[in-house]
Amino acid sequence: MEYDIAAIVEGYAQGYFLMADDSDRLSWYASRDRTFIPLDERFRYPKSLQRVLNQERFSVAINRDFQAVVAGCADRETTWISPELREIYWLLYQSGYAFSFETWQGDELAGGILGIVIGGAFIGESMFYRIPEGSKVAMVKLVERLRQRKFVFFDAQMMNPHLERFGAYRVEDDEYQMLLQQALQYNCYFG
């Protein structure tokens, strides 16, 4: 199937995101509010995670195994990442828009975060882990990278208790749209 990558990127640039329903039908969705991971002093994490970071058990990589991260994110009892969406992520990756931010323990993929980068916006699509603390370390290291690269925001899309532990907060749609338009003016280099 042929996909119009420019149109897909434009959909994300307007604040929409792709999800598959229970029948694997892909559709665009919008939300009345979005969840942001703070890139300022509001970002926090459990003290136990600081010990893991100090032990340097994990190394970090970008796109070392993009498809394994997508597969890890999709490997759930119920998933919105259909085979078609996996193909779209691959095309977005090949076009320089989709990235996997990974943690590794030796040669084993420990965890990762799948995201789409447009301008100064990092839109987190999903995350997973295979080794305990793998995705949490990825979150901390990803926030450090986004800060260094002067990203405007880290959109995690939907709130959950796991994200709340990192200081995640909700942004109403009108504020999100304003910040998104601001982020689109930036040319942040992620890779």
Domain spans, the chain: 5-183
pLDDT tens, residue by residue, 27-57: 999 999 999 999 999 999 989 999 999 999 9
Neighbours of 41 (CB within 10 A): 7
Domain 5-183 part of CATH 1.10.800.10: no
pLDDT tens, residue by residue, 89-130: 999 999 999 999 999 999 999 999 999 999 999 999 999 999
Rounded distance, CA 171 to CA 160, Å? 14
- Name beta bridge partners: 60: 103
Q: Which amino acid is at 1?
A: M
Residue 157's closest CA among 166, 170, 167, 146? 170
Alpha carbon distances (Å) from 64 to 89, 125, 140, 171: 15, 18, 18, 32
Q: What is the pLDDT of residue 1?
A: 73
